[in-house]
Amino acid sequence: MNKNFSDNESLYRAVYPPEVSHMFWKDENHISSAVFLDKKGVSVERGNFRLDENVVLEMKKFFIGKIVAITAGICHEVNAKVLYKPTKRSVYHSEIHGGEKQIVLTPSQRHFLAANSRLLESEA
């Protein structure tokens, strides 16, 4: 798989449901910026142009909660770096970093990503 991300490629993140961790939710339909705070890099599954439904089905095998999606282009708009980092669990595993030399996303990057994420109907 190519290590480059086109602007219209989707990235998916599992989010604990509100009843497990309310810190990730503004309300039942809107995530908070805390979803994109991780000192090791924000773990995501790259879409590689698969259907949302197929990605959610695959993610259900490993994660609980709801799935949100953004595009790599949204990340690029705030100069966040999307890195392809496959693991033993997933050939699609990737990470979002704050920039070339910065792992943690800034508060404004996190807010922008949260505001531009779409909540998928299916739960993992």
Q: What is the token pair recorded at 110?
A: 């996190």
Q: What distance in Å separates the CA atoms of residue 12 and residue 119, rounded to the nearest whole number?
A: 10
- Find out whether 110 and 41 touch, Cβ atoms under 8 Å: no
Structure tokens, 68: 């949100």
Q: Residue 99 carries which side chain, given as an amino acid letter?
A: G
Question: Looking up tokens 């966040």, which residue turns up?
Answer: 80
Report pTM.
0.94
pLDDT digits (tens, 9 = 90+) for 60-97: 899 989 999 999 999 999 999 999 999 999 999 999 99
pLDDT tens-place string over residues 23-57: 999 998 899 999 999 999 999 999 999 999 999 99
